[in-house]
Structure 1
Amino acid sequence: MIIVTGANGPFGRLVAERLLDLVPPGEVAVSVRAPDAAGALRERGVAVRHGDFGRPGTLPGAFRDAATVLVNGTYYGAAPEVRGPQLQGAVAAAVAAGARRVVVTSWPDIGRSTLASTADFAGTERAVRALPVAWTIVRAGHGLPAALARDVLAARRDGVLTAPAGRARLAVARTADLAEATARVLAGGDGHDGRTYELTGPDAIGWDELAELAGPGIAYRPEAEDEFRARWVAAGWPPPVAEQLLALYACIRTGWAGTPTRDLETLLGRRPAGARAAVAEAAGG
């Protein structure tokens, strides 16, 4: 049995759907906080179980009969000081339930990330590598195209793309490609044991190209952090949100997640969508 956690979220749901293209539904179960919201997967023959990383007592039942468990650890809203122990607890629960393989999603290019909001992932990866069972780490930044699309949409509204991104570039990938690759790891058996996959698109995109995506005549104008902060706060955004975005741009300017790898292409067996296509999809075309 392959257990997919977080299957009510956008990424986990896509992983579960792609997994059903590879294995019979009777071999798949999902662990979700709200089982009633997973009706579409249940209708396809998937076992739906209640599992909540924040309620460890739910996990033994959620992971029952597991051969492989995907601990889908990114983008579920917990602060790093909460998420880290929760993820490591879920990994331990999977092993205790008898899983022979544990696959964990992690943050891209974690060794170079300067974001305080992702500080827990390095510790989670260390815990995974010390497991007494087979493991695989999948670094998949499935929210990054949407983050860049936010700048594209703002530029369409304002007629200019302004951001404190300097001349940085990001090697983002289409979310559907990331989900398919993760599903292939889950279905692929021991060929992925002990591997850490850095999933990126085949190329990187910069803010001049984002401006081109925004529309004809729109140009990119780099701005200083103080200018960005003042503009966002004046527009009514809470200062902590502005600071979170500034931290992301500062991380991007260091070159973080800017180098394409071949891991995604290898797992898919085909060339994945490029960065421009990934952002365009996230921006609605």
Structure 2
Amino acid sequence: MIIVTGATGQLGRQIVERLLTRVPADQVGVSVRDPQKAQALADQGVRVRKGSFTDAGSLTHAFEGATQVLIVSADKTGQEEVRQHRTAIDGAVAAGAGRILYTSHMGASATSRFQSCRDHAATEEALRTCGVPFTSLRNGFYAASALQFLGPAVESGGQVALPADGPVSWTAHADLAEAAAAALADEGRFEGPTPPLTAAHALTFADLADIATKVTGRTITRTTAPDDQYREQLVGFGVPAETADQLLGIYAASRAGEFAAVDPTLAALIGREPITMGSLLRERLSSN
């Protein structure tokens, strides 16, 4: 049985939906913190069990009978995130899984300027030493984050004031979910970390502002805010200082080229060209 964790989250839910187009529902199980939120999956024949990365005992039941376990990365950062991932890895090993898959990130490195990428690197190291074959899905940077950074300017026009950045391979959740489902359905296709699973182009925020201007017909201008000023603004809006520093890490990492790689592996996995930022912007506008 293929077990997917975090199946009620934005990425995990889409992974299960796409996996169900490839394998029978009775071969799929999910580990979720709140089974009631996964009732729609249960109605389709998916095995739904309660499991939490903070409760090792719950994973014994949730992972029972697993042939593969896909660990969707936790929504934490730092030591807490890595600790939770290690608990999930240990649970998958104890359950007898023949392969562990993990949603990592392009640029995962112990020396990354972005905390999340350092956490992913630590988790990948735990996978390397767990004694079970693993696949680390090196996902491109979520395009949804770019849309959040662009903020209300997409709807109303105006300026987008952000720190200096570099090119980023913004990639749609839907494409990454399809890729994960393909990797699960074709067990052993990748050994260890995958190549970067990215969209076809790496774009700066100036590029995104130009695309948004063309899509909306409203002038959207990208201006540069000094890092310190941007941090002060975030903290002033109530963002915790630690979170503000982590967000600044994204810009520092992009300036260093950590997210600039593009690779054809994602397109090959999903059998089509990845979704473009222009398409995602149109989708966002049509849903408002």
TM-score (norm 2): 0.89
- Counterpart in 2 of 1:238? 239
Change (3 A) 1:109 1:282: farther
Q: Secondary structure of the residue that 2:29 maps to in structure 1? A: strand
Aligned partner letter, 1:107: H
Conservation of the 8 A alpha-carbon contact between 1:155 and 1:211: no
Q: Secondary structure of the residue that 1:105 maps to in structure 2? A: strand
Change (3 A) 1:189 1:130: same
Q: Secondary structure of the residue that 1:3 maps to in structure 2? A: strand
- Which moves more between the two structures, 157-166 or 204-213? 157-166
Change (3 A) 1:69 1:233: closer
Gaps of 5+ in 2: none
Between the aligned partners of 2:245 and 2:192, the Cα distance in structure 1 is 37
Say how many residue pairs are matched.
280
- Counterpart in 1 of 2:137? 138
Change (3 A) 1:104 1:231: closer
Change (3 A) 1:202 1:40: same
**RMSD between superposed Cα atoms in Å:** 2.2
> Is 2:105 the counterpart of 1:93?
no
Change (3 A) 1:80 1:47: same
Cα deviation, residue 277, structure 1: 3.1
- Counterpart in 2 of 1:122? 121
> Is 2:220 the counterpart of 1:221?
no
Alignment of 1:67-216 (within 5 A): 67-73=67-73, 76-111=74-109, 113-141=112-140, 144-156=142-154, 157=156, 159-166=158-165, 168-212=166-210, 213-214=212-213, 215=216, 216=218
Conservation of the 8 A alpha-carbon contact between 1:80 and 1:118: no
Conservation of the 8 A alpha-carbon contact between 2:139 and 2:198: yes
Conservation of the 8 A alpha-carbon contact between 2:171 and 2:198: yes
Conservation of the 8 A alpha-carbon contact between 1:264 and 1:272: yes
| Cα displacement string for residues 74-103 of structure 1 (whole angstroms, at most 9, x for unaligned residues) | xx3323211112212211211111111111
Aligned partner letter, 1:237: G
| Cα displacement string for residues 2-52 of structure 1 (whole angstroms, at most 9, x for unaligned residues) | 000110111101001100000000100000111111011011110001111
Between the aligned partners of 2:27 and 2:4, the Cα distance in structure 1 is 11
Change (3 A) 1:152 1:16: same
Cα deviation, residue 279, structure 1: 5.3
Between the aligned partners of 2:226 and 2:177, the Cα distance in structure 1 is 35
Conservation of the 8 A alpha-carbon contact between 1:11 and 1:175: yes
| Cα displacement string for residues 123-173 of structure 1 (whole angstroms, at most 9, x for unaligned residues) | 21112123333211102246x31221123223245611211134x111111
Conservation of the 8 A alpha-carbon contact between 2:77 and 2:119: no
Q: Secondary structure of the residue that 1:205 maps to in structure 2? A: coil
Aligned partner letter, 1:120: D
Q: Secondary structure of the residue that 2:3 maps to in structure 1? A: strand
Change (3 A) 1:93 1:151: closer
Q: Secondary structure of the residue that 1:86 maps to in structure 2? A: helix
Cα deviation, residue 281, structure 1: 4.1
Between the aligned partners of 2:52 and 2:198, the Cα distance in structure 1 is 29
Gaps of 5+ in 1: none
Cα deviation, residue 219, structure 1: 1.7
Cα deviation, residue 187, structure 1: 0.7
TM-score (norm 1): 0.90
Q: Secondary structure of the residue that 1:110 maps to in structure 2? A: coil
Between the aligned partners of 2:128 and 2:178, the Cα distance in structure 1 is 23
Change (3 A) 1:57 1:220: same
Between the aligned partners of 1:231 and 1:121, the Cα distance in structure 2 is 28
Change (3 A) 1:90 1:239: closer
> Is 2:257 the counterpart of 1:255?
yes
Conservation of the 8 A alpha-carbon contact between 1:160 and 1:218: yes
Change (3 A) 1:131 1:231: closer
Conservation of the 8 A alpha-carbon contact between 1:66 and 1:98: yes
- Counterpart in 1 of 2:45? 45
Between the aligned partners of 1:279 and 1:125, the Cα distance in structure 2 is 33
Between the aligned residues of both structures, percent identity stands at 36
